[in-house]
Amino acid sequence: MSPRRPSRLTATIATLALVTALFVSVVGANPASAAATVKVTNTTSIRCAFVNYSTPTDWYVPTSGTPKGLIWLQHGFSENKGHWSTYAPKLAAAGYVVFATTLPTADLFGCTVQNIGNNRPFLDNIASMFGSAAGGSGGLVSSFNNAAARAGRSGLALPSRWAFVGHSAGGEAVAYVTNRIRTNHANAYARLGGIVLEDPVNSFIGANLSDALGGLASSNLSVLTLASPPGSCNNNQSGIALVTQRLANRSFRGAQVTTGTHIDVFGAGAGPLLRAACGTPQTKNVNAVQTLTTAWLDDQLAGTRRSAFYPGGTTYDGLVAAGTISTLP
């Protein structure tokens, strides 16, 4: 007689226990161990055509200690910085300065997060902003100094190690900016540990994501991806297809969440409108996505690769065995 299979309820409870425990261990969700943080809202000056835009910005700053790095969180089409409101504090509690911007979805000059045919000059300006920051000047540094002072941490320096996260069309934007930094801003590129793409979506116009991934494929920069199943919100995995094609030379590209939604990384921060459009994230999937994202960012910024969070490791393989994720081809 074959062994009796566990009930679906038993498997679900085991999965929830696994991902919850993993998330606590990686992010430091225990209030006793988490660093205190403060959120500051201000603006960051980013050049658009012949004017400077005052870009809405949320900073999340640890209130003590030396931050381990800077993480830029970039939303996608029709989203905003507020959608990071539950995940960003967890990253800050883990010791990172978090920089979340709201980039336009529509703009007369093409200064948008997604490509409407002419947003490359705007994304080039964002890359230049990071380039200036590596030299200690420019809009990013000014915005951070203002936030640090308002957080009670005057004199705190902008962290010297960076990592970027982009969701949906923001994944395309982050990939393009990263590749532009690679080719045009060597000092900034030396600070960059890697990027994590959250269900990236390719714009209907242009080849920003394809070109960027093609350029990054030849580098040694860590580029990792988390995907949801094909659907309208991720344009039937248009971006994921490019990741698997353009990064075919990489041994590991990331994972797909088996029953995931396009907005898992936001968790409760997604809000009712995104949930109505893309589905309500399940707790087990939110925990898995945020756990892996945080672990990968930790490694990118520290220059490490802890085996637990990749194929063959206990955490990663536990999520595979639970049916929560599968490895991208």
> What is residue 34's predicted lDDT score, i.e. its pLDDT?
52
> What is residue 28's predicted lDDT score, i.e. its pLDDT?
36
* Inter-CA distances, 292 with 111, 257, 263, Å: 31, 11, 15
**Is-contact 83 110, C-beta < 8 A?**
no
Tens of pLDDT along the chain (329 residues) come to 333 333 443 344 444 444 333 433 333 333 333 569 999 999 999 999 999 999 999 999 999 999 999 999 999 999 999 999 999 999 999 999 999 999 999 999 999 999 998 999 999 999 999 999 999 999 999 999 999 999 999 999 999 999 999 999 999 999 999 999 999 999 999 999 999 999 999 999 999 999 999 999 999 999 999 999 999 999 999 999 999 999 999 999 999 999 999 999 999 999 999 999 999 999 999 999 999 999 999 999 999 999 999 999 999 999 999 999 999 99
Roughly what angle, to the nearest 10 degrees, separates helices 8-23 and 314-321?
160
> What is residue 18's predicted lDDT score, i.e. its pLDDT?
43
**Is-contact 265 289, C-beta < 8 A?**
yes
> What is residue 35's predicted lDDT score, i.e. its pLDDT?
66
> What is residue 2's predicted lDDT score, i.e. its pLDDT?
33
Burial 169-192 (b: 16+ CB within 10 A, else e): bbbbbbbbbbbbbbeebeebbebb
Number of residues that this document lists for the chain: 329
Distance CA 150, CA 57 (A): 14
